[in-house]
Structure 1
Amino acid sequence: MNIIETALPGVLIIEPRVFGDARGFFMETWNADAFRKAGLDLQFVQDNHSRSQKGVLRGLHFQNPGPQGKLVRVTKGAVFDVAVDLRWSSPHFGKWVGVELSAQNQRMFWVPEGFAHGFLTLEDDTDFLYKCTAPYAPQSEHTLAWDDPAVGIEWPAIGMAPIISDKDARGLSLANVLVFP
């Protein structure tokens, strides 16, 4: 696999080896030994799968306490996926990085603990899968406002306003959200 560092240390784009022929393709999306050899000694406890129509924006979510690291990928469709550094002591606090993930490019995105995470679907019927290092804990879940000008995420233009949940519409600004040390 090919690991690409992003502007935020620890947030990685992972390109798995894909073996294709006339029948289709095969790729290994998780191998603990291979990831460990690449410096990612991870233990996952939960897998999640969401399907969304074009224009759905989910996030920016995080848990504190009980932060989750997430290894995310798209198996159908495409998203613009974002991680925001919420570690107060980090020189990158409040900065974001985004990447397009799609069934076509088969990339994965590693979002470590201490980051808010969210995505905008770019195609209808997009299937988004992710592995988590900690279980979902609704009492510890928080939402950073997807449109906070202090963060300034440059979401791609999709020809419509994003569709967001009531919970995500109540996301807090960076100045008011519960950050990590």
Structure 2
Amino acid sequence: MDIGKKIRALRLGNNLTQEELANRVELTKGYISQLENNLTSPSIQTLFAILEVLGTPVHEFFGKVEEDFEPVHTKEDFYEKENEELSHTISWIVPNALKYEMEPIMIEIKPGGQSEIDDPHPGEEFGYVLEGQIVLVLNKTRYVVKKGETFYYLANKEHYLINLGSQNAKVLWISTPPMF
């Protein structure tokens, strides 16, 4: 783990200069510079004080290793599942999205098909119709959403999508927290 790099990233994320961070922790600017360049290591007490000023819990600092985070995903990374009964295909377009705040999927619905019916749950959902048009059903109320249009709702009502058109519909659908 590159402690210096993580401290620098947190400092910059808080819009602090090295001098401002040093003053808040009662250290010198030179010491902060040495820490960030891995020329010295902080004591546990100093590290805890720095993390407190930067608003980062210790467990979070040593938790997920950001170097493992991959921000770009290709079609080869997607997981696809076809539902022949409901005439749709879902592509999970971000691997391991369940561990994040949002879960984006791509759903392609054939004419006459529909998504699964989702029961009410906590969270919010957003969609962008890329092709065709769909009918968004929220608690039995229907909304037509055409290509280039979006939808957004609280997921506290039964909800699903239907394709009543004559061509395939393709929707980028994002749920927070992950639910798909």
TM-score scaled by length of structure 2: 0.23
Query: Considering only CA atoms, is the larger Rg found in Structure 1 or Structure 2?
Result: 2
Kindly indicate which of the two structures has a greater share of residues assigned to helix: 2
Kindly indicate which of the two structures has a greater share of residues assigned to strand: 1
TM-score scaled by length of structure 1: 0.23
